[in-house]
Amino acid sequence: MTVAGTLAGVLPSGRRQPILRSSRPALALGGVILLVAGCAEDAPQDTWQPAGPNAQKIHNLQWPVFAIAGVVMLIVMAAIGWAIFKYRDRGQPLPKQTHGRPTLEIALTILPALILIGVAVPTVGTLFALAETDDTECYINVTGQQWWWEVDYPAQDGCGGIAEPIVSSGQMVIPIGTKVLVRGTSRDVIHSWWIPALNGKRDMVPGRLQTVRLEADEPGIYAGQCTEFCGLSHANMRMEVVALSPEDFATWKERQLAPYEAPAADTLAAEGEATFLGQCARCHQVNGILDADGVPFISQPELYVYSEAAPNLTHLMSRNTFAGASWDLLIPACRSEVWGAPPEEFGALYLQGITPECLNQVDLREWLRNAPAKKPMYADPTELAATDDKTRGMPYLALSEEQIDQVIAYLMERQ
Amino acid sequence: MAIIERPVPATVAGPVAPTVTPSSSLGVFRRPVTSSGWTSWVFTVDHKKIGIMYGVSAMVFFLVGGIEALLIRAQLAAADGTVLTADVYNQMFTMHATSMVFLFAMPMAAAFGNYFLPLQLGARDVAFPRINAFGFWSFLFGAIFINTSWILGGAADGGWFMYAPNSGVPFSPTNGIDMWAVGLVITGIASQTGAINLIVTALNMRTRGMSLMRMPVFTWMILVVQFLLLFAIPVITVALTLLIFQRQFGATFFSVDAGADPLLWQHLFWIFGHPEVYILVLPSFGIISEVLPVFSRKPLFGYPFVVFSGAAIGFVGWGVWAHHMFASGLGPVSVAVFSVSTMVIAVPTGVKIINWTLTMWGGKLVFSTAMLFAIGLVVQFTIGGLSGVTHSVAPSDTQQTDTYYIVAHFHYVLFGGAVLSFFAGFYYWWPKVFGKCLSERLGKWNFWLMIVGMNMTFGPMHITGLQGQPRRMYIWTEERAGEGFFNIAFWNRISSIGAFILAVGILLFLINVVYTHRRAPIAPLDPWDARTLEWMTTSPPKEHNFDSLPTVHALDEFFHRKYEDVGQGDEHDLRQVATAEEILAEQEANADHHIHLPSPSYWPIVLAFSLPIIGYGIVFERVIAIVGAVILVLAMFGWALEPSVADDSDYDPPEPEPGTGLATVGSTA
Amino acid sequence: MFKTGARFLVGAAVLATIAAIVYGVAQSGSLGTTGLVFAACALAGLATVNIWTRDADVSAMDEAARTRSPAATAPPGPSIWPVVAGVGGVLLVVGLVTYPVVFIFGLIALLATTAEWMVQAWSERASADAGFNAGVRTRLAHPLEFPVLAAIGFGIIVYSFSRIMLFLSKTGGVAAFALIALLVLVAGFVIAFRPSLRNGAIAGVAVIAAVGLIAGGAVAALEGERELLPHETTGELAALGECDTTDETEADENASQSVAAKSNLAGSVILRADGTLVADNADVAGSDKVFVVTKSNATNVRFINDSDEERRLVLDLGTTPALEENGEPIEGTAVPFQYCTALVADGGQQFLTFSIPTASVFAEQPYRFVVPGVAGAEVEVAVS
């Protein structure tokens, strides 16, 4: 019983194979086509649509490398496909038992090495260019916390001059064409700040201060997401960078530093202020709010929240997302108007803030009704032994519908 | 322990009774020396049985990890998924990765290594058989220990990379992470002891004539992997110990308010983690380097290059770990260094792909299922490797890292690399291990469903990653999925459908196994006309592997015994001069007398059993740990007392015939 | 059939059962009852095993063989263990009234005696062949003795070496370390290249080395450690009117005393030679009089002392109410709320880790870095 006969007995005849065999490279090619097709769409966090010089530098490095990789892949697929087709068993005798050709192998080792050297040189150059911090024109501090972002602007000469610190959350507003340096850290676990249209990501590590450059070419809103696993609601930790023209930015700054205006007496908003003071203000700071005795009320989230902070709501309605930027404050129609606005109209639309007819009542009310049910957080008071009875996230407040109406009315005045 | 003095024979006269030396068997229990039944598996020290047990256990955990993956894909199949809550989802992806990396891929490579390394070297067993058994049982008990966390308060939920400070008690209060860390220390013991064992075997127990450069490539890759394990396992053990101390004993290694740096964990983990991925994939390279030459009917192209590139990957693999940390703020100098070193490591990997392609070039390709899996691996791994090259460019990695693009990359190299090679190995070596060939018809269905399913699941992840979907998201929403038809929503659905197709493919493999063992005929000795020494045995091999240890004259010794080149000058004309059956018969005719094999023992499993007890003690109740420690010390003690070969008095007479079943020992003829 | 051991265990099991019943009825505490029930079961199990193995007593199997057996009639050999037991007992008692170390030595001696004496007695009764008995004893005891003795030996070597290192000055320690390592290397070379060295020679060298090491270690241990790190307690600082907290801890216990974690800095605060204090915020061009910090973040700052004297950096966060024993604030009181470094030598650096929960705009007094003893050395801390 010869070996060939054994093989023939065990395996089906080689002659029926060719179509299936040569379809493998075709599958690969189809994959490439799909890949290209997929990249053509318009996702808000698309990494191939740079909107600023830093992301552009990365893109200029990235797509040639992809192209080279694609070409190499096609060559390898073609070689394999050809080998499968030409050298399949058609009954020929045993082939020559070659053990290798050292010159060919050395050449085929040197060639990829040269290609990679060609890739390495611009890589290192781009790396150092992106790490430059000396030409910064404006500094913004960012602090990640489970599961939202705090953005604060220290007093400085940059960004057209900021007289007093501005504290915000979820949306970072910057002037266009300005080299902004984000200096970031975290209050609890490692998070990561990523606005794909403007630059690569940078981890926000507690105890460390990391920097990443941002610069936007045109007005618009650029979406991002936390990209380092940070626990339960990692998927619900988003942020946006809003770029405004220098004039619009100056207007925004003015409004952020405007003094507090209490609601007019006997309005729903005034009742809302009282409810806010009773239910919300112990964690959420509103700058300038006065308590019942007329003393400025200072929130103390460090007593209730493990990571010791909660979003500052002084100008909540000047932003258009909330709860870690996971939900919109705008109804879909208004949202697509603002987010999809062309650059020259964007600033004015953004500065409109949230008008009553555009307010997304559904999500906001759900949130106020029962925050932990809407966004997974650690707020069950019976399970907080590991964090000294402090919550990680917003607890359930058992607000009545009436109280929710009041609070929304009050918040609508925080423009 | 009663020592019995045998009565003195009455023939001796005289006032002083002579001294009598009692039996030297001091143990209460006899050694387990049966060669059949369940006890012959539980107490075995035979590398082949241990290899099969590793393989079966690894397969079980492959299915466990696969179910975890299917649950993940089910949750992400639709917007606002409700299959899993956020908490369970986090546990699910942590355990999916842990199961696949530590409880499937590493032990499956150990299965192949344990079974075939001694056979390919022409040895009768490994250097330390009882340690080999201990390693398997440690792995199994550690794996079960980790999985019991599901029912003991929740599994670990910090991701398989378990970054600090998220791994600390305030952020992960359940016991899941503690059990994860302790369980991995236990399975690490298994890998470490196995590494020492196989290194000593490969360096010391090669048969006559087998120099290092005549070892099969599979053996070479396994040897490199063992060296990687030898140095990498201590690193992860240190990291896990720091984590256990942080969580259990209030240490402040990762506490930021005590001045610690959370990046310490990342460095420790990735110094282990990067060699770990080469540990996962180099055995696959070895298996493919065996399968491709056999089914191309010509030797591996450039054997020295393949061997040296494997060793080079092993070395350079220690210098690239921070490419997992490009976004973590290391500073441009460090990032540049690691970016360049990552590009360097692409070169030896590329060499292998080239050599495999050139092996097929000019051959006589037979498309058995094993060959299909091998070719599939070359294609899929090329895709995964090239996406890896795009990551090595650090600035563009800051856009890609922590997105689904990375998930696509490592699933192509791990699934398309490690898993496809394991299946190639199954279809190639099944007849040798079990005596029957797996059905080729079912095998082809198995292969194609797996390929289609795999590409459908992981291919779109390249796209979703580049479209900005981060990893480890328990939910996605329509509002944030982007415009257009081919948005994140669309590709996630495709991925989920692909996952279920992949599952069907794997199910077909299991069906194939059952079908084969019920219906298929006994396989011939050498169905694939193979090249290496393990085929010079019966199917399955006898317990002592070779009746007479072969002398090796060349690489691919078995092939050279079957075929001679009678061509003149430049021409080649290979004639078959012997069949596998003839070669085996010659071996049996020259069988060695007094084949010396180590005896089974129960100390390895007893010692291994003490480890999870200590584990439960550390996590739950310290007193239990003391009990476990006592068992540990006593078991080590008993093991040290026990000789490697059982005494005559442990056997029931009569002894079996030489050459069948259990080998005899020493004195009796 | 029931030898001594079996009788003891069965009796103990019965006792435990009775105790379990009594305790369960009288106290009705489930933990104690469960414990006693388990103890009874364990003892019963041990009793069963003991009976099955006949308490390792040959005579139980075969009374006739026992009386005829030479092993039963051979006299026991000499042994040091009774003496060691006596010494151990005395040390135990003496240690109770003097030093705990002596008590521990006594305990170790008694434990060792228990194991060794039992093994010796048992092995002597095993057979009449003294050579076989010795072999049995070594086979049983050596796997335990050698590791324990080796561990003790290593412990002594490590302890002696560490005392020597802690006693010598920094440079002296480096020199000693290098010298000892060189000696070991030379010895290794000599042994490797002269394989026919006599055992006596090697043993002699090892003994001399061991005696030298242990003697050196003993002397160094008695002399005490050199001055390693400045340890100030907050009590001492409070006496100076600085860093008054109610916890008696070491100054700046949290952060590293050296500047090991240079990559974790939010910036530096530099005391210049001219007595000015300057802030250098990380990645912000130009130096400032303001140090910018975000609230409730663990922030690391490096203090650089470029002046000519030892100085410390103090982060002054105003005042805070004094705390009672249980941590409750006492109304109406105010104590300084400060974080301090230890005294830093001129030209030195130190790390400081702190976290400020309240923003500057809401603080009653402004936050600032100061250097006590240097007037005008002040940097504002802006917390947002």
- Where helices occur in C28-169 by DSSP H, the ranges are 30-52, 58-61, 63-68, 70-73, 81-97, 100-124, 130-167
Query: Which residues have CB under 8 Å from A227's CB, separation 6+?
Result: A192, A194, A201, B327, B401, B402, B403, B470, B471
pLDDT computed for residue C288 by the predictor? 77
pLDDT computed for residue B21 by the predictor? 46
Closest CB from A95, A194, A233 relative to B298: A95
Task: Please tell me whether residue B624 adopts helix, strand or coil conformation.
Answer: helix
Query: Which residues have CB under 8 Å from A289's CB, separation 6+?
Result: A260, A262, A273, A276, A277, A281, A296, A297
Q: Which residues of A touch B322 (CB under 8 A)?
A: none
CA A27 – CA A33 distance, rounded (Å) = 10
Tell me the torsion sign for CA atoms C17, C22, C24, C29: negative
Q: Are A53 and A217 in contact (CB under 8 A)?
A: yes
Q: Are B564 and B553 in contact (CB under 8 A)?
A: no
Query: Which residues have CB under 8 Å from B209's CB, separation 6+?
Result: B551, B552, B553
Q: Which residues of C touch A287 (CB under 8 A)?
A: 361
Comparing alpha-carbon positions, the chain C residue that sits nearest to B259 is C255
> Cα–Cα distances in Å, from A55 out to A197, B481, B512, B573?
6, 21, 51, 61
DSSP B437-479: PPPHHHHHHHHHHHHHHHHHHHHHHHHHHHTTPBSS-S---ST
> CB distance from C382 to chain A under 8 Å?
yes
CA C355 – CA C368 distance, rounded (Å) = 13
Q: Which two tokens stand for residue B591?
A: 């069988």
Contact (CB<8Å) C294/A211? no
- pLDDT one-digit tens code per residue, A241-267: 999 999 999 999 999 999 999 999 889
ipTM of the complex: 0.90
Helix B263-296 / helix B106-121 crossing angle, nearest 10 deg: 50
Contact (CB<8Å) A209/C282? yes
* Consecutive H or E run containing C280: strand C277-281
Comparing alpha-carbon positions, the chain A residue that sits nearest to B354 is A108
Poorest-confidence range of A177-191, A363-377, B51-65, C275-289? C275-289
Reduced 3-state DSSP string for A35-92: HHHHHCCCCCCCCCCCCCHHHHHHHHHHHHHHHHHHHHHHHHHHHHHHHHHHCECCCC
Q: Which two tokens stand for residue A206?
A: 């507690």
More confident residue, A13 or B551: B551
Q: Are B133 and B50 in contact (CB under 8 A)?
A: yes
- pLDDT one-digit tens code per residue, C104-122: 999 999 999 999 998 888 8
> Cα–Cα distances in Å, from C121 out to C52, C60, C117, C262?
21, 17, 6, 63
Contact (CB<8Å) B360/A40? no
Closest CB from A141, A211, A300 relative to C384: A141
Q: Which residues of C touch A143 (CB under 8 A)?
A: 294, 297
C72-98 in b/e burial notation, b at 16+ Cβ within 10 A? eebeeeeeebeebbebbeebbeebeee
- pLDDT one-digit tens code per residue, C58-82: 555 566 666 666 666 667 778 889 9
Tell me the average pLDDT across A209-215: 94
Closest CB from C266, C355, C384 relative to A209: C266
Question: Mean pLDDT by 10-residue block, N- to C-terminus, for chain B (669 residues)?
Answer: 43 47 51 78 94 97 97 95 94 97 97 96 94 97 97 94 94 95 97 96 94 95 97 97 95 86 94 96 96 95 95 95 94 95 94 94 94 96 95 95 96 96 97 94 96 96 94 91 87 96 97 93 93 92 90 93 82 86 91 83 94 96 92 87 70 49 39
CB atoms under 10 Å from CB of A181, counted, come to: 24
Contact (CB<8Å) A207/C298? yes
Contact (CB<8Å) B22/C127? yes
Q: Are C303 and C344 in contact (CB under 8 A)?
A: yes
Comparing alpha-carbon positions, the chain C residue that sits nearest to A209 is C266
Comparing alpha-carbon positions, the chain B residue that sits nearest to A123 is B393
- pLDDT one-digit tens code per residue, C279-317: 999 888 776 789 999 999 988 889 999 999 888 888 888
Contact (CB<8Å) A308/C300? no
Residue C270 above 70 pLDDT? yes
Rounded to whole angstroms, the maximal C-alpha distance in chain B is 108
Closest CB from A27, A72, A95 relative to B386: A72
Contact (CB<8Å) B360/A11? no
Contact (CB<8Å) C361/A165? yes
pLDDT computed for residue C241 by the predictor? 62
Q: With CA atoms as reference, report the closest residue to A367 among A239, A236, A240, A258.
A: A236
Q: Are B6 and B18 in contact (CB under 8 A)?
A: no
pLDDT computed for residue A383 by the predictor? 86
pLDDT computed for residue C66 by the predictor? 63
DSSP-assigned letter for residue C333: -
Contact (CB<8Å) A38/B467? yes
C245-383: which CATH number, 2.60.40.420, 2.130.10.30, 3.50.50.60, 3.30.360.10? 2.60.40.420
* Consecutive H or E run containing B396: helix B394-400
pLDDT computed for residue C57 by the predictor? 64
Half-sphere exposure of C309 (CA within 13 A, CB side): 9
Tell me the average pLDDT across A17-41: 51
**Size of chain A in residues:** 415
> CB distance from A85 to chain B under 8 Å?
no
CA B219 – CA B286 distance, rounded (Å) = 7
Contact (CB<8Å) A38/B331? no
Locus of tokens 């009117």? C241
Rounded to whole angstroms, the maximal C-alpha distance in chain C is 101
Report the gap between the CA of C291 and the closest CA in chain A (Å). Answer: 10
Confidence class of residue A166 from pLDDT cuts 50, 70 and 90?
A: very high
CA C375 – CA B164 distance, rounded (Å) = 42
CA B10 – CA C99 distance, rounded (Å) = 63
Contact (CB<8Å) A37/B475? no
Locus of tokens 């079957």? B562
Helix B303-316 / helix A102-130 crossing angle, nearest 10 deg: 20
User: Regarding beta strands A180-186 and A138-145, do their DSSP bridges make them parallel or antiparallel, or are they unpaired?
Assistant: parallel
Q: Which residues of C touch A164 (CB under 8 A)?
A: 361
**Contacting subunits of B (3+ beta carbon pairs below 8 A):** A, C
pLDDT computed for residue A69 by the predictor? 93
> Cα–Cα distances in Å, from B179 out to A51, B65, B246?
46, 17, 14
Q: Which residues of C touch B22 (CB under 8 A)?
A: 126-127, 132
Q: Are C261 and C300 in contact (CB under 8 A)?
A: yes
Contact (CB<8Å) B1/C56? yes
CA C184 to chain centre: 28
Contact (CB<8Å) A99/B301? yes
**Contacting subunits of C (3+ beta carbon pairs below 8 A):** A, B
Q: Which two tokens stand for residue A370?
A: 């029962």
Contact (CB<8Å) C128/B640? no
CA C356 – CA C299 distance, rounded (Å) = 9
- pLDDT one-digit tens code per residue, A115-145: 999 999 999 999 999 999 889 999 999 999 9
Contact (CB<8Å) A58/B398? yes
CB atoms under 10 Å from CB of A91, counted, come to: 9
Q: Report the first-to-last Cα separation within chain B, whole angstroms.
A: 31
Report the gap between the CA of C50 and the closest CA in chain B (Å). Answer: 9
CB atoms under 10 Å from CB of C328, counted, come to: 9
Locus of tokens 């989802």? B89
pLDDT computed for residue A8 by the predictor? 38
Helix B603-619 / helix B217-248 crossing angle, nearest 10 deg: 30
More confident residue, C197 or C156: C156
Q: Which residues of C touch A309 (CB under 8 A)?
A: 295-296
Locus of tokens 């009788």? C7
Q: Are A277 and A297 in contact (CB under 8 A)?
A: yes
Peptide bond into B165 cis (omega under 30): yes
Closest CB from B327, B378, B491 relative to A203: B327
Q: Which residues of B touch A236 (CB under 8 A)?
A: 475
Q: What's the Rg (C-alpha) of chain C?
A: 34
Comparing alpha-carbon positions, the chain C residue that sits nearest to B257 is C298
Q: Which chain B residues have any C-beta within 8 angstroms of a chain C C-beta? A: 1-5, 7, 17, 19-22, 26, 28, 256-259, 261, 263, 329, 331, 637, 640-641
Query: Which residues have CB under 8 Å from C82's CB, separation 6+?
Result: C117
Contact (CB<8Å) B389/A69? yes
CA A322 – CA A374 distance, rounded (Å) = 12
User: Regarding beta strands A171-175 and A238-244, do their DSSP bridges make them parallel or antiparallel, or are they unpaired?
Assistant: parallel
pLDDT computed for residue B2 by the predictor? 36
More confident residue, C332 or B545: B545
